[in-house]
Amino acid sequence: MTKITSLLLTLLIVASCTSQQKEQKPPIEQEKQALADEVKAAFVHTWDGYKEYAWGHDDLKPISNSYSDWYGESLLMTPVDAFDTMVLMGLDEQAEEAKELIFEELSFDKDLSVQNFEITIRLFGGLLAAYQFDGDERFLELAEDLGNRLLPAFDSPTGMPYVMVNLKTGETSGSINNPAEIGTLMLEFGTLSKLTGNPDYYDKAKKAMVELYNRRSDIGLVGTLIDVESGEWTDTSSHISGRIDSYYEYLLKAYVLFEDEDFKEMYDESIKAVNKYLVDRTDTGTWYGYADMNTGERSRTVYGALDAFMPGMLVMGGQVDLAREVQESNFKMWQMHDIEPEAIDYTTMEVEHPAYLLRPENIESAFYLYRETGEAKYLEMGKTMFQSLVEYCKTESGFAELADVRTKEKNDAMHSFFLAETLKYSYLLFAPESTLDLDEYVFNTEAHPLTKTW
């Protein structure tokens, strides 16, 4: 063989190896199925713990292997919240167990004063999604019964709901409410209207949102607390964190689910103000801070686990570049201590609130970005986050919150949103896209998928 032929041969071999390498999928893509199976195993582990130690109660206490009920009597928070995750994961046996328990034991005819928002997003949303997935009319009957019992919450002078409502008597309490609890009812009440043909639920939930929107400041921001009787703000601090967050989410999602243009207008106006006054680009990344709703002046540089929903919402609203930027910060926050704290000061990168409550938002945003861009980096982020959960939060019977992400000390608590949301978004990130088509479904804020069957 001449030198030239041998050189040509070498070049050919190198070229063919390079093209083979190019054809090879990045390794994380090949791990997707295994990761989805790991998430499913984490779910089954936790459901087994619930069955053994908390059956029939609201929540599992994953360290003492016992249970807790929010209001003294159980409203089956965990089984209702977890049901549609079981369906998505193909866990038929577990779904059957949950379904039997729900139909045998769930009753809302109880003299309990409950938090309208939490009951709506977890139970009302869970039952509606269960009905749409499963088709059993009893889910819809329970949802309708619950919707009727919650409806008196809207009977305030402004139409914005009270915080609490008694399931039996309809008595309301808590006139100082917040945008999240006022404005995160639309998908559930609206869906019930569409499914039953009774417009009342839709109209009341929409009026509440419009009343809130109409009280935005001249620069377009809302505050943290408002009196639903007088309509006056009692705390004018504006941000995207807890107590405001999902109001914006529902303005957008209500438009997507109901195709009601009013919501689009309100979302577009609101997000403009939020991105003008709250986005904070610093040396440490792109964050959303706090500002006074009237002046727009920065008041705090705090960001946390709840704020991490933002990239997911921005993707849905078409602002993908900004979503990417913020997700980098989300992940940076996660990496500070291998698991995210509830809140940090993003200028110093110091922990402000050290707990981790098994929250989903960071993984949720990675999921939306992966679906939108197909980029492996979002799978990598999801893998890191899920594996931290297993490493630091897993217990003999389930998963526990962390009291402090720096020491990894655990708390004896596990919110039902861990099964409804955290494991659902983790699973959907790794599972084939056909498991759930985002063009067909809109998630309520507790990750219950709702679809336009009307």
38, 81, 211, 245: the active-site residue: 245
Return the sign of the alpha-carbon dihedral for residues 347, 350, 353, 358. positive
Residue 116 burial by Cβ neighbours in a 10 Å radius (0-12, 13-18, 19+) = buried
**Cβ proximity to ligand DMJ, 156 vs 445, nearer residue:** 445
Is 342 labeled as catalytic in the residue annotation? yes
280 or 361, CB closer to ligand DMJ? 361
| Coil/strand/helix, residue 14 | helix
Q: Cβ of residue 154: shortest distance to ligand DMJ, in angstroms?
A: 20
Find out whether 447 and 420 touch, Cβ atoms under 8 Å: yes
DSSP 160: P
- Spatial separation of the C-alpha atoms in residues 385 and 383, rounded to whole Å: 5
Q: Would you give the end-to-end CA distance of the chain in angstroms?
A: 74
2: number of Cβ within 10 Å: 7
268 catalytic, yes or no? no
Q: Which two tokens stand for residue 248?
A: 């914006």
Supply the minimum distance, in Å, between the C-beta of residue 309 and ligand DMJ: 7
**Cα(405)–Cα(402) distance, rounded to whole angstroms?**
6
Residue 88 vs 217, nearer CB to ligand DMJ? 88
Active-site position among 84, 249, 342, 364 = 342
In the complex, the residues that contact ligand DMJ under the rule CB under 6 A are 121, 246, 306, 359-361, 417, 421, 445-446
283 three-state secondary structure:
coil
Given the residues 361, 364, 372, 401, the one annotated as active site? 361
Minimal distance, residue 393 CB to ligand DMJ, in Å: 14
- Which residue lies nearer to ligand DMJ by CB, 181 or 284? 181
Identify which of residues 211 and 446 has a Cβ nearer to ligand DMJ in the complex: 446
Is the Cα torsion angle 452, 275, 340, 351 positive or negative in sign?
A: negative
- 118, 249, 364, 421: the active-site residue: 118
Does residue 52 contact residue 404 with C-beta atoms inside 8 Å?
no
Residue 212: Cβ within 10 Å count: 24
**Is 372 a catalytic site residue?**
no
Note the residue count of the chain. Answer: 454
Name the pairing type of β-strands 233-235 and 402-404.
Answer: unpaired
Task: Provide the annotated active-site residues.
Answer: 118, 245, 342, 361
